[in-house]
Amino acid sequence: MPAKTLLIPTADGRADAFAAYPETGTGEQHPAVLLYMDAFGLRPELEKKALELAGHGYYVLVPNLYYRHRPAPVLELPEHIGEDERPAVIAQLMPLIQEFTVDGILRDADAYLGFLAAQPEVADGPVGVIGYCMGAPLALRTAAAHPGKVAAMAGFHPGFLVTDAPNSPHRVLDTLTAEVHIGLAEGDMTPEALGELEKALDAAGVTYTTETYPGTVHGFTMSDTDAFNPGALQHHWDRLLPLLDRTLRKN
């Protein structure tokens, strides 16, 4: 499966990224998927997910969202992030996470989608956006900001979809047109917060599903962490691949 690292010009610099796509003949093109990382960042675990998606016929872009600080990896992560290592890793990453702004997120999204549209291997058509953990609200914001382009949005073990902030992701969905799937770990959202999110999705008039994956904890798709749940990872593919297939592929 072809894969490469690359640099994407943005309004704030150049974002390093990983891209994977199918073996293609001359002129062959594929639907694009923008994959937003979890808090631990761009690393082999996410490259593996991109390669899996590429094997199903998608051009997948995984940007390093911390590019303003340094290229990936921004930290020297342990090979496996266990419960003993997790607090120290999160403590180092939290200042970077707290620097994200909505304006910066949307400027970057413009650059990533523009890059995808310019690739010769990418088909002219709708795009899917996926986010894990902190990437889920970024994916939701991107979908809402690009209703004419993003046809599928999926978020897994999401954080920060419903907050008290005036610009909380669930409060900016009036322009959303993408089909949405939110795959939750047990405890990711309170029933009240989930109700607020579903109310906002209902008001947007979009097709969506929210589902709590049983027996899971936050981070269940990531095989390099103690949160990993193999059955839930497969369930995530069982939800994600049909969503992308029915929204991104021409009949």
DSSP code for 73 = P
Nearest residue to 221 via CA among 197, 242, 237: 237
> Are 140 and 105 in contact, with CB atoms under 8 Å apart?
no
How far apart are alpha carbons 221 and 131 in whole angstroms?
11
Provide the CA 165 distance to its chain's centre, in angstroms. 21
Count the neighbouring beta carbons within 10 Å of the beta carbon of residue 19.
24
> Are 41 and 64 in contact, with CB atoms under 8 Å apart?
yes
DSSP code for 189 = S
Cβ neighbours for 3, distance < 8 A, ≥ 6 positions apart: 18, 19, 20, 21, 47, 50, 51, 54
Phi and psi at 9, nearest 5°, equal -65, 135
> Which residues are catalytic, by number?
133, 188, 218
> Are 60 and 54 in contact, with CB atoms under 8 Å apart?
yes
